[in-house]
Amino acid sequence: MEDIKSIVAKNITELRLLNNMTQMELAEKLNYSDKTISKWERAESSPDIAVLVDIADLFGVSLDYLVRTENIEETVKENKQKETKYNRRVISYISESVAWFVAIFAFIITSLITKEATFQWLYFVYALPIVLIIKLVFNSIWFNPRHNYFIISALIWSILAAIHITFLYFKINVSLIYLLGLFGQIVIILWSFIKKPKRK
């Protein structure tokens, strides 16, 4: 079994290389000389506990991780996956925000150009289904497809509400259109019970 000094040396070296850092750069971050870093990586000496904590914080690993023989690449890969998931979530929210921005922009422009118009608020009614379509697309590509059932349900009801509100603006009552939503909801619930065959 490897001694603790060799394990620490190996882990520090691998973490430094995986983060594209030179011994000099690591030394500067820890306020040590590059010669000291070199000694640590050759297992000629070992950093004290306070420095190990600093190294763990710097590379985003646990202190326990530095003193054990674990697969560093797996941990780095997990961290990158978390970052990717976070970035995808942010991209999704930004895309949804664009739809609301367009609705606000259209509302302002229409209000400025036609002072007597009263239909501007409908832009926000139409923005909701568009936002849900964007959410559905991103959820299907990057996130949990099981959530699509909820998004599709919300999308159906928002489209029906948009149609109903639009007709109400012209003083036409089409409230029976919600029966389509009821039928659609039943289909979605039944669809959610369909199980995909497991791969062997």
- Read off the pLDDT of residues 58-67 as tens digits, 9 standing for 90 and up: 888 888 888 8
Cβ neighbours of 160 (radius 10 Å)? 20
Mean residue pLDDT of the chain comes to 85
pTM of the model: 0.57
Which residue's entry shows tokens 């669809």?
191
Do residues 12 and 58 touch, judged by C-beta distance below 8 A?
no
Output the pLDDT for position 63. 84
Distance set, CA 26 to CA 35, 41, 101 (Å): 11, 12, 44
What pLDDT does residue 130 have?
A: 94
pLDDT score recorded for residue 38: 92
Structure confidence by residue, pLDDT tens digits, 92-148: 999 999 999 999 999 999 888 887 777 888 899 999 999 999 999 999 888 888 888
Rg (CA), the chain: 29
* Domain coordinates in residue numbering, the chain: 4-70, 83-192
Distance (Å, whole) CA 185 – CA 156: 8
Beta strands in the chain (DSSP E): none
The predicted pLDDT at position 105 comes to 94
Phi-psi region of 127 (alpha: psi -120 to 50; beta: other; left: phi over 0): alpha
CA–CA dist 62, 56 (Å, integer)? 6
What is the structure's pLDDT at 1? 41
**pLDDT bracket for residue 199 (50, 70, 90):** very low
Res 156 pLDDT > 90: yes
In CATH, what class is 4-70?
mainly alpha
* Residues with Cβ within 8 Å of residue 108, at least 6 apart in sequence: none
CA distance 126 to 102: 11
